[in-house]
Structures are given as C-alpha cells and as structure tokens.
Chains A and B, each alone.
Chain A
Amino acid sequence: MKRALTGVAAVALFFVLGGCGGGAETGAVEGRDGVAARGTIGFSAMTLTNPFFKIIADTMTEEAERHGFEVVVSDADRDVNLQSQQVDNFLASGVAAIVLNPVDRIAIGPAVRRANEAGVPVFTSDLQAVAEGVEIAGHVGTDNYQGGLLAGEAMIEALGEAGGEVLILHFKQANSCVLRVDGFRRAIEEYNSDRSDGRIEIVAELEGGGLRDEGYRAMADGIQAHPDLAGVFAINDPSALGARTALEQAGRADQVRIVGFDGELAGRQAIREGKIYADPIQYPDQMGLMTVQNIVSYLDGEDFERVHLIPTRLYRQADAERDPTLDQGP
C-alpha cells in the first residue's frame, strides 16, 4: 500500500513538472517552423546559481535563435559527474554541437572523447579543458592572467604609498582563478621589486570557494589571523561580497580595501557604494555571443580563431557612477 501511494505521488509530481517541460517544448517547435531550425546546441553550464553563467546561457540562447538553432541548457551544478551525464544525454538526443564550461578540466576528458567519437563538436567557454587526447573545436574565455595583472594594479592604486598586508581569497579548483592569482602576484612582485618601504606583502591565500558564504567564513578567520590587513583580492564577486560582510561585522571595513573580479551586477553595485574598490570586469555576454558565432562558423565550414581570450577592463567607482544599468539611488 505504501509503495502504491509513493508511486502515485511520484507520477503526480512527474506530471506537474512534465507540464513545465511541455511548455518549453512548444517554444522549440515554434522555432522549428519559424526560422527552419538547423538543429540543437547542448550547453552544460558550470552552475546556473551564479549569474555569470546564466548570462552566458541567455545570450547563447538569444544569438542561436537568430541563426536558426535551439539551445538546451543544463546545469552541471559544479559536478563533473553530472556534466558528463549531460554530455551523454546530448549525444543521445543528437545535438549539432555541445558547449561546456568544464567543471573539472581533466576529469571531463572521457566525456569529451565520447563526443569526439560521435562526431559532435565540443566548444568550451570561460574555462578550458586540458585533458589529454581530446579535441576542442573552439574556446572563448576571459584573459584571466591579464585580469589578474589589472587586479594587482587596482590593489596597488587602492593601497597607495603605504602598502601593507594583503590576503587572497582563492578558488583553486578553477584554473581560471589560478591564472588570476598568478597575474595578481606578478603585478605585486613587480611593484615591490624596486622599493624597500611601502611594500605590499601577500600574507595568506585562503579558500573562498568562489561563493558568498564560504568567502564570508574564510574572511572572518583571515581578519582574526591578520589583524593588520590592508587589502583583499577575491577571485570573483560572490566571494568579494562575502568578505565585505565579514569585514563589516569585524568593524574593519574601512581599514581593508577589496578588489574583486567579474563585474556582475551585485559587484558593480558594491563598487558604486564604495564597498569594493574595483573589479577587472569580464564579458559573459560576449562569451555567449562569440561561442555561438564560432559554432555557426564551424558548421558553415569557415575558419575562425580556435582560442579567443577577451581582455578585461578595470571598473572603478567613477565607472559605476556612469553605469546606466545600476540602481542610481542615494
């Protein structure tokens, strides 16, 4: 009896949700009739809880529609197991191309190889895959090393002649963040090389998970261990905002300057309010756009740049005050 009821509940739920799916499908069918759809592009995003990847997904969907393609977006939820399952699902449903933000640059290898064997081109955006023996048709991402250099410059600017102790909130799992930190360290080293006072010392590198709550916890510990801290470099906006909250609670918000990364909406808003000093900003919309354009070029047999890195730009408070997309309240 119990199993009976469980089953009924499962079926009922499935129906309800199946309804949602059905809605999405009608849209696709309309597309097929309207623009004579050339096929489907499967996109497995790193995590859709981060607005950055949502923007990539949305821009891709929009741009692909203009070229007669439909985009199916799956959320890998930072889990490479889920991501490779999604690749298998794409292959089973016969997509024309696959786009990934590789969750694990090595462990995604076997899944990419299966796509290669099935003759389906794989494109990466934002993060690159480095597994052996896999063929990536094209990559569009941020020039993270250059972004790291800019973050270092912003930190030097923020601390001024006084210099001081700096902490890094890292997310080592992502290679993009490793490059950012490499660039940041390089810029700081160069600055220190010709001075004896006013030096900037990187005193710690903590794991901030690239998330608001983990960044908050790491910073709360960091400020205890390093009470004289003058600056923080967080490898993305969520962890920068988490750090800000921790510093406010510790009463050190005025003492410690924060440099973030990304330039997503919440981050830019915080820059406007002076809570974050500056961000090297990335362009997820351009990533989505160029990825789709690369796919179209590939399918049209045209040549295109196999690896395209978009440079970042430094975004400070003055930029935020002119930014029309921000809420211009008091």
Chain B
Amino acid sequence: MPEETAQPVRGRMRRLLSGLVDLAGRRLSVVVLLLLCLISSAATWREQNPITKRAGAAVARQVLEVCPVPCEVLVVVRDTAVDRAFAAAIERGLAAAGAPIAGRVFGQPRDVRLEFERIARAGGSVDAIATHRIASEWGPVRSAGAPVVAPGSYSWPTFLTPRNLLNVVNQNADIAIIALGMTLVILTAGIDLSVGSLLALAGVIAAVTAQEWFGGAAASPAGLLAAMLLGVAAAALGGLLSGTMVAAFRVPPFVATLGLMMLARGLALILAVGHQRRLVGGGAEGTPEAVRVGAPAFAWLGNGSALGVPNPILLMLFLFVAAHLLMTRTMFGRYVYAVGGNPEAARLSGVPVTAVLLAVYCLCGAFAGLAGIVDASRFEGGRPNAGELYELQVIAAVVVGGASLAGGRGRISGTLIGAMIIAVIQNGLNIAGVASYEQKVVFGALILAAVLLDRLQPKIASRRARMTRGSTSTPVQ
C-alpha cells in the first residue's frame, strides 16, 4: 500500500495497536485479571519492613557506625525461623568486626524486659539494640535509652508480596476446584446448588470415618486416604443422585440440586452431632462443631506444601490440567458441549445424552467432595457448616469466566481465570481495608453484571455481525 511507504512508522504502529486490541478482545478476562492485580497493587502500596539475611547484614553495618567497637549490642527478635535467620546475619556481621554481644532475645516483649533486668543485675550495659521494625516498637526496646537500629523500610504493594499471592490462590483453591466441576454442569445448561453441602458432607464423612473406623489419632496414612476417598465417593454419589433426577426424570436441575443441597447439609449435621454425642459417651446432646481428626497427617493436604507452594494450589492446578484435557481432547468433552448446545440435536446425532448428564453431575459432586477434603484437612476436622453459600461464589466464578448459563459455551481456562478474578477482588478489597458490607455489594453487582451481559450477548453479537457485513459491502479504498 502506498500509505505504508509514506508513513511506515504510523502504519506499523497502527498494525501493532490493532493486533493488541485483537489479542485483548480474545483474552480479555486475562487482561481484566492483570488490571485488577494492578489496581490491588496500587491500593495496597505500603511500607514493607524486611526481615531477611541481607537486612540483618545491613543492620550490623549500621550498628558499627552508630557505636564503634567495643560496643555491647543486644539483639532482639521474635522466636520464629525467619527472625532467627535475620538475627544470625546480624551476629555474623558484628562478630566479623569484633563487637561483643551483650545478649540476645528470641521471644516476646516480656523477655526483652527480663533480659534487661538480667543484664542490669550482672552489672553489664547495653550500648545499642539491633532488631527489626516490629520489635523496635516494643515498649522495653523503646524505653531502653540505647540507640535502636532496625532495617530501613521500603515501599512495595502488600498485594504483590509472595506470601500474599500464595494466600490469594490458596484461599480460593477450593472454590476453583468446585468451579471446574460446575463448568461442566453449566455447559450442559444445568446448575448445581448442592456443591457447598456436598463439600461439608465429604469433609464430615472423611473426619468421622478417620476417627471411628480408621484408628483416630493413630490412623495410618492408608487409613486416612481411605477415609478421604469415602468422603469424595459420598459426594460423587450425591452428584449421581441429582444427575439421575435431571437426566432420567427431567427434573429441572435447579430443583433437583436444591433438594440435594438441603439433604446433604442435614446429613452432614446429623453425622457430626452424632459423632460428638458418641465422644461424650452418649446421653448429652452433641453440638454441631467441627469433627476433630487426631492424626497429624490428615492436615497434609490442606496445610502442607511442596517447594514452597501449598498443596491445595498444586491439587487445583493438577485438576485444572485434567479437566482442560478432558474437555478439549476427548470425545466426552465434545459430547458435553453438544448436549449443552442443543440436547435434541445431540440425541439425534447419537450422543448418549443421559449418560453424559449423569457423568457431569457425578463429576461435579466428586470435585465438590475433593474440595471438602481440602477444607477438612485445612481445619484438621470436618465442619458440618462448611461451604455455606459456596454455590454462589462458584457459579459467579464460572459465569465471570465467560461460560453461558444457557449452556454450550464456556471454557475450563475461562473458569480458572474467573475464579482468580473473584479471588483477587476479594483479597484486594480485604487488604485495601474495604468493609465487608461493601464487598457484598461488589459481589452481588458483579454476578448481576455478568449474567446480564450473558443475556445481552446474542443482541450484541447480531449487531456486530450486521456491522461487519456493512463494512465488507463497502468497497475498500
């Protein structure tokens, strides 16, 4: 084109821009997620106080500047692994310069006071205190009279700290896991309201069987695994039940799963209260408290981690890949889309519609059960009240992720992004200090907006199609 030779830079810029716009259009949920992360970062721009080896070495150098050798230094930190590493770095720095250590405190403010009293009794003195920002605010440190050296703070978004980012994903791993199953159900134009209750039922069954059948505190890892599998199986069975209602008896999914929701919650409460009653030796009434699992290994799935990544996140990623492959690479995946797009057409073209629906609800139940096991493991016990209102968060994640409630349209990857969008909004609002009342408003409005746009979608699409037709019919110059 002649235009390009005349203004090559502008042309290239325009192409680049249109390419970006195109990419953004196709992957907008990703862009939204990144944007939300950006906003969360801006809203949580705070002073950060390092407690690292490097900060420790810097503190040692600064102490030597403030008070040259010989200088009696008191090192004050809390009794945690991170603090101890920080303190060790300070001591290494001081030892290299030959500065004597007057004392060290690994503990609480009270311990600092006692240490000062000990030093005073022994006739010693403290010329400087090396510590971190948090302990520098402790009363005995502030009133010591000696110069206090703590690492300088720097500004960085709290949202973007590794600990917080892992928190965000970890806290919502259960929602994301259930959302994978829910995506399948919603793809068939169905809905599953029972997921929160199935989560609780699975957790309680795993906890009660671990305690009563598999040895309680002395349960072997195999016994705990069996208990967990029983929980997941129960939830899958629940899903199969609502699937049967929907597929074989044509009960609307909303009603079938509403019934199961109450049924499963009731069962979870009955099992938990029954267990508590047996614990106190019958007679007295049990309370609907968490059923505690004594075996420490039970907490591995929920609270353990590998290479610094919490196990629930690893499980979520594994299930995500599995569900993604299932939906994109297998015949079953194509069947699910076909059933959701047009069940009659699917039936006529030989898709086993009933079997597909049964499998979809059963899978959704199993995913809810897995989330229940994660929850029970996290709290070291099955909670009969767990997962209340989870169905709403899960459906919100799926819908925000781009699936259509009318069925046939949506992707597993979209759901994962949707779950993360909800997670980031929640976390961002939390650490930005927005009160819970306003958070409820955001979530309600977000779901309404997503569903409303789902409704408007055909209209927008047809208008867009008309516009495209219009532009192609005019000759291009």
- Is B432 in contact with A106, judged by CB distance below 8 angstroms? no
A85 to B379: give the CA distance in the assembly, Å: 12
- Chain A hits for B25, CB < 8 A: 1, 4
Encode contact with B along A1-20: 1 for CB under 8 Å, 0 otherwise: 11111111111011101101
Cβ of B28 to closest chain A Cβ, rounded Å: 4
Cβ of B230 to closest chain A Cβ, rounded Å: 21
- Chain B hits for A15, CB < 8 A: 39
**Is the C-beta of B292 less than 8 angstroms from some C-beta in chain A?**
yes
**Interface residue count for A (Cβ, 8 Å)?**
63
Encode contact with A along B431-442: 1 for CB under 8 Å, 0 otherwise: 111111111011
- Chain B hits for A4, CB < 8 A: 25, 28
Encode contact with B along A87-105: 1 for CB under 8 Å, 0 otherwise: 0110111101000000011
A 215-273 contacts with B by CB, 8 A: none
**Is the C-beta of B212 less than 8 angstroms from some C-beta in chain A?**
no
Cβ of A217 to closest chain B Cβ, rounded Å: 15
A10 to B39: give the CA distance in the assembly, Å: 12
- The answer, among B31, B285, B434, for a CB contact under 8 Å with A172, is B285
Listed in ascending order, the chain B residues whose CB lies under 8 Å from chain A are 25, 28-29, 31-32, 35-36, 39, 43-44, 46, 48-49, 78-83, 108-114, 134, 137-140, 158, 161, 163-164, 167, 170-171, 285, 287-290, 292, 299, 302-303, 375, 378-381, 383, 385-386, 388, 400, 402, 414, 421, 425, 427-439, 441-442, 445-446, 449-450, 453-454, 456-457, 460-461, 464
Cβ of A23 to closest chain B Cβ, rounded Å: 9
Query: Contacting chain B: which of A159-167, A279-287, A297-305, A322-330?
Result: A297-305
A180 to B439: give the CA distance in the assembly, Å: 34
**Is the C-beta of A189 less than 8 angstroms from some C-beta in chain B?**
no
Given known A-B contacts A92-B167, A173-B288, A110 and B421 have beta carbons under 8 A apart: no
5 examples of A-B residue contacts, CB within 8 angstroms: A4-B28, A17-B434, A81-B386, A109-B379, A117-B81
- Is B461 in contact with A1, judged by CB distance below 8 angstroms? yes
Question: Can you name 7 extra interface pairs (CB under 8 A) apart from A38-B137, A88-B170, A302-B113?
Answer: A6-B450, A10-B449, A92-B158, A107-B381, A119-B80, A298-B109, A300-B138
Encode contact with B along A117-131: 1 for CB under 8 Å, 0 otherwise: 111010000000000
- Chain A hits for B292, CB < 8 A: 106
Counting residue pairs across A and B whose Cβ atoms lie within 8 Å, the total is 208
**Is the C-beta of A74 less than 8 angstroms from some C-beta in chain B?**
yes
- Is B431 in contact with A3, judged by CB distance below 8 angstroms? no
Report the 5 A-B pairs with minimum CB-CB distance, sorted nearest first: A300-B139, A119-B78, A7-B32, A301-B113, A75-B436
Given known A-B contacts A1-B457, A25-B433, A110-B299, A300 and B288 have beta carbons under 8 A apart: no
- Is B446 in contact with A10, judged by CB distance below 8 angstroms? yes
- Is A84 in contact with B379, judged by CB distance below 8 angstroms? yes
- Chain A hits for B302, CB < 8 A: 110
Q: Which of B25, B43, B158, B402 has the most CB of A within 10 A?
A: B43
- Chain A hits for B439, CB < 8 A: 17
- Is A301 in contact with B445, judged by CB distance below 8 angstroms? no
- Is A104 in contact with B290, judged by CB distance below 8 angstroms? yes
Q: Is the interface of B mostly helix, strand, loop or mixed?
A: helix
Cβ of B155 to closest chain A Cβ, rounded Å: 12
- Chain B hits for A121, CB < 8 A: 108
Cβ of B466 to closest chain A Cβ, rounded Å: 14
A15 to B445: give the CA distance in the assembly, Å: 13
- Is B138 in contact with A299, judged by CB distance below 8 angstroms? yes
- Is A6 in contact with B402, judged by CB distance below 8 angstroms? yes
- Is A9 in contact with B379, judged by CB distance below 8 angstroms? no
Q: Is the interface of A mostly helix, strand, loop or mixed?
A: helix
- Is A21 in contact with B429, judged by CB distance below 8 angstroms? yes
A178 to B302: give the CA distance in the assembly, Å: 30
With both beta carbons as reference points, the residue of chain A lying nearest to B35 in the complex is identified as: A11
Given known A-B contacts A17-B429, A21-B43, A21-B434, A6 and B134 have beta carbons under 8 A apart: no
A96 to B436: give the CA distance in the assembly, Å: 22
With both beta carbons as reference points, the residue of chain B lying nearest to A116 in the complex is identified as: B80
- Is A3 in contact with B375, judged by CB distance below 8 angstroms? no
A85 to B174: give the CA distance in the assembly, Å: 13
Listed in ascending order, the chain A residues whose CB lies under 8 Å from chain B are 1-11, 13-15, 17-18, 20-22, 24-25, 28, 38-39, 48, 72-75, 77, 79-81, 84-86, 88-89, 91-94, 96, 104-107, 109-110, 117-119, 121, 172-173, 178, 205, 298-303
Given known A-B contacts A13-B446, A96-B137, A118-B80, A107 and B379 have beta carbons under 8 A apart: yes
- Is B139 in contact with A2, judged by CB distance below 8 angstroms? no
A104 to B385: give the CA distance in the assembly, Å: 10
Given known A-B contacts A14-B36, A88-B167, A25 and B289 have beta carbons under 8 A apart: no
A89 to B381: give the CA distance in the assembly, Å: 22
A92 to B31: give the CA distance in the assembly, Å: 25
- The answer, among B163, B378, B380, B428, for a CB contact under 8 Å with A14, is B428
- The answer, among A38, A84, A93, for a CB contact under 8 Å with B46, is A93
- Is B32 in contact with A21, judged by CB distance below 8 angstroms? no
A38 to B135: give the CA distance in the assembly, Å: 10
A9 to B44: give the CA distance in the assembly, Å: 21
- Is A107 in contact with B290, judged by CB distance below 8 angstroms? yes
With both beta carbons as reference points, the residue of chain B lying nearest to A25 in the complex is identified as: B433
- Chain A hits for B421, CB < 8 A: 10
- Chain B hits for A18, CB < 8 A: 39, 43, 428, 432, 434
- The answer, among B82, B285, B287, B414, for a CB contact under 8 Å with A3, is B414
A301 to B449: give the CA distance in the assembly, Å: 52
- Is B425 in contact with A10, judged by CB distance below 8 angstroms? yes
- Is B287 in contact with A172, judged by CB distance below 8 angstroms? yes
A107 to B386: give the CA distance in the assembly, Å: 11
- Chain A hits for B138, CB < 8 A: 299-301
- The answer, among B112, B400, B432, for a CB contact under 8 Å with A21, is B432
- Is B436 in contact with A77, judged by CB distance below 8 angstroms? yes
Q: Which of A8, A84, A105, A299 has the most CB of B within 10 A?
A: A299
Cβ of B264 to closest chain A Cβ, rounded Å: 17
A96 to B139: give the CA distance in the assembly, Å: 13
A89 to B439: give the CA distance in the assembly, Å: 16
A91 to B383: give the CA distance in the assembly, Å: 24
- Chain B hits for A109, CB < 8 A: 379-380
